[in-house]
Amino acid sequence: MIDHLRDIASVREATDRLLEAVSSWDNAALAEPSRLPGWTRGHVLAHLARNADALVNVLQGLPMYKDAESREADIERDAGRPVEAQLADLRVTADRFEEVCREPADWDRTVELRNGVTDRAARVPFRRWVEVALHHVDLDAGYELEDLPEEFLTREIEFLADRWSGRPDVPPVTLRPERAEDHPGWRTGGTEGEPVVLRGTAAELLGWLSGRGDKGARLTVVSGGGVPELPPL
């Protein structure tokens, strides 16, 4: 069962953790490259602020973004702001997102995100948690996949395994967590190609699924030809 109220609290914890890290930076640190190709740390923070606005739109039954072009333009517009402006924007938008999440609502309703993707409203807080937590890692600020809460790792592995399922460009893959012999693992990928079984820590499995960290370089290939290369998310 999805507990959106618990996820809202987790979003707040993740946001506060990120804000504490960024509050020690100067403008030069903000202009340094992030781990996302072509984006500075300022781009990542601008995206997080605008994503909070976008998810408020989703919960209010509005289009998530006006269009792809305006989404990218807003990030570029806000990426170069000084640290104080970035922090203020992140705080205000985070507070607004939480405020809307705590309003009485039908959390079983279906909402629409980008590109026609739909989901239950109750899953939106977790989606925001994903944005904040993984982009904190992307900031290259000493917070790594291994630092993410175990609950988050498990849930995001499940989510991304499902997202990659049925993809003809991904072979059938079974993911098995280390030191959990009784765990059934997660299945992902399509039906074409040689089946692969991979084993690793939750952080390593999530790194491969999300294209982060070493992208699966430390995973153990239990069977199959090797660690498949995933397309961009």
For 5-42, the pLDDT digits (tens) are 999 999 999 999 999 999 999 999 999 999 999 999 99
Q: What is the pLDDT of residue 149?
A: 96
pLDDT reading at 184 higher than 90: no
Arithmetic mean of pLDDT, 208-217: 93
Q: pLDDT tens-digit profile of 99-149?
A: 999 999 999 999 999 999 999 999 999 999 999 999 999 999 999 999 999
Q: What is the pLDDT of residue 233?
A: 79
Average pLDDT, the chain: 96
Arithmetic mean of pLDDT, 71-89: 98
Residues in the chain: 233
pLDDT band at residue 192 under the 50/70/90 scheme = very high
Q: What is the pLDDT of residue 164?
A: 95
Q: What is the pLDDT of residue 183?
A: 82
pLDDT reading at 82 higher than 80: yes
Q: pLDDT tens-digit profile of 150-169?
A: 999 999 999 999 999 999 99
Does this model's pTM top 0.85? My answer is yes
